[in-house]
A = this chain, B = another copy of it.
Amino acid sequence: MTTHDDGPGGRDDRHPTGNRQGGVLADSVRVEAFSDGVLAIVITLLVLNLRAPEQRGAMLHELFQQWPAYVAYLASFGYVGVIWVNHHQLFTRIASVDSGLLWRNLALLLTTSVLPFPTAVLSSAFQLGDRYDQVTAVVFYSLVAAVMAGTWLMLFHYLATHGHLLARQTSASFFAQERRRALLGLVAYLVAALVAQWQPLAGLVIAAVLPVFYGLTSEGWAMPWAARG
């Protein structure tokens, strides 16, 4: 009756037999659930960087003065949202998880769950800091994002070379292509860090626009061409 009943083998098959054979650690359900938990918490914790004004008679003014905190909030919320969509897409292509994949996934979660910190640095620098502080903040944010792109690269590379972990419809060559998408991000965030030294706002714009690109290509950037062909 529900759409889930279409075939034999409902959800309970997620504890497949023999999840400790041949280096295959476990199926991916609990890894996904844990990752979802971490990403949901990170995206929600960002709000703690927004503080209620406390100065009697000047709250409207104080609310306006916090605008860099709102921009940083929106940028990081969008960023984590895009990471979640990409992570979600990634795991639809994975059937099993071995320990190599598990640790690489944890590295990705590390770089993601640290994001509220550079976000707070950013909003602090554009509220209270001078130009030098703003350079510092944008470079710091961009470097964290570059390291995160590096963890995506590691993940994609691992999957490109460990085809037996993939779902049936997915070929390892898909992830060989995905590596280029991650590499582009790594380079682009380093460029943002460089540009910020000269003009912090310009670096910030690059860093803020990149998640939009990853949002649009979350199903793999080969897709548009593949669909046409």
Task: Mark A residues whose CB is within 8 Å of B.
Answer: 1-21, 24-34, 36-54, 56-60, 63, 73-74, 77, 81, 84-85, 88-89, 92, 95-96, 99, 102-103, 106, 109-110, 113-117, 120-121, 123-125, 128-130, 132-133, 136-137, 140, 163-165, 167-169, 215, 218-219
Contact = CB atoms under 8 A, between A and B. Distances in A.
Contacts of A133: 56-60
A74 B117 CA distance: 13
Number of copies: 4
B123 A52 contact: yes
Given A2-B12, A92-B19, A56 B129 contact: yes
A54 B128 contact: yes
B20 A12 contact: no
Interface residues of chain A: helix, strand, loop or mixed (majority):
helix
A56 B110 CA distance: 29
A36 B49 CA distance: 22
Contacts of A57: 129-130, 132-133
Contacts of A8: 7-9
B16 A10 contact: yes
A178 to B, nearest CB: 15
